[in-house]
Amino acid sequence: MERSNTSSGGDFILLGFSDHPKLETILFFLNTVFYLPAVVWNSTIIFLSLVDPRLHLPMYFFLCNLSFLDLCYTTSSITQMLVNLWGPHKTITYVGCVVQLFAFLSVGGTECILLSVMAYDRFVAVCKPLHYMAIMHPQLCLQLATFAWLSGITNIMLMSPLTMSLGRCGQHCINHFVCEMPASICISCVDTSRIEGLAFFPAIPIMLVPLTMILVSYGYIAAAVARIRSAAGRRKAFNTCSSHMAVVSLFYSSIIYMYMQPGNVASQEQGKFLTLFYCLATPTLNPFIYTLRSKDVQGAMHKVLGKDRGALGRRAH
């Protein structure tokens, strides 16, 4: 039964990968394999950052925020996608679509700012190591994280109501597996040039300014590393920044291509797979990248596991 879909309500149909039924089964199991580790690993980093005093450092405070962002992002999109991939119905409620749109815009905007803040943190750690704790004091870290979150919220307050208020003239089939802004705009039956133009302006402070700050920070870091004479010193500086550089590369390469591709059908199909990578692979890889390279996180995990084993041993006796 088809229901009229006005700007004020009605279900949407997420077409997703329905043109490829066999692919849907593969994607369901693939998404499950990636989604569960993403939830477990990001939750583990948040838990360890809260309970282990050794991780009460600026870097892990920001990493905790990043993990929470990834949890919000992947949960808001992948859970609905798994339901749609498993069953014949591809519907999502109007409220669910709004939640997904809010999550995409807010998390994306917040992560852009947060990654630039983390780049500044790495700049201070490499270029001013003796003054690191004095500069990156808890109050400043809280202020920077708050600014990142408020920037993301400002982005959704501007773009989400405009996107959802567009007239759709009964169109309710979104050619995507999530309610993200470009796909939602495509089903509008009115002139969307004003909305598309407005979307460009937040992209400057939300995407381009943070990216510029990241590049400037790493420019100073590269200059500082070049002045280090010992190979061990250069290796230590590289290890300090390599995890963040990997996460930035994954994030910006995905999001820039996703929102700067042309609007033809082939590009829209490519955009689905790229969005899937951004929603699933990136939140899964982010904690793995940091955990793999961080002896502090590994030590905190071993400490927690060791306590658990000790507690079990005492109960056994």
Please tell me the predicted confidence (pLDDT) of residue 261: 55
Asked whether residue 4 carries a pLDDT value surpassing 50, the answer given is no
Pairwise pLDDT comparison (91 vs 257), residue with the higher score: 91
Compute the average pLDDT of residues 273-286: 80
Give the model's pLDDT for residue 120.
94
State the pLDDT at residue 268. Answer: 62
Q: What average pLDDT does this structure show over 267-288?
A: 77
pLDDT band at 135 (very low <50, low <70, confident <90, very high): very high
pTM value is 0.83
Task: Identify which has the larger pLDDT, 139 or 278.
Answer: 139
The share of the chain scoring above pLDDT 90, in percent, equals: 19
Lowest model confidence (mean pLDDT) among 48-52, 92-96, 188-192: 188-192
Check whether 132 has a pLDDT greater than 90.
yes
Write the CB contacts of 259 (distance below 8 Å, at least 6 apart in sequence). Answer: 182, 203
Task: Name the residue with higher pLDDT: 228 or 258.
Answer: 228
| Euclidean distance between CA atoms 106 and 280, whole angstroms | 17
For the cut 80, the answer to whether the pLDDT of residue 313 exceeds it is no
User: What is the residue whose two structure tokens read 């030590």?
Assistant: 299
Q: What is the pLDDT of residues 26-73, one digit of tens each?
A: 888 988 888 998 899 899 989 988 888 888 889 899 999 999 998 988
User: Which domains, and CATH codes, for the chain?
Assistant: 12-316 (1.20.1070.10)
Mean pLDDT of 256-266: 55
Least confidently predicted of 102-106, 118-122, 257-261, 269-273: 257-261
Of 15-24, 111-120, 142-151, where does mean pLDDT reach its minimum? Answer: 15-24
Give pLDDT, residue 119.
93
Model pLDDT, residue 118: 93
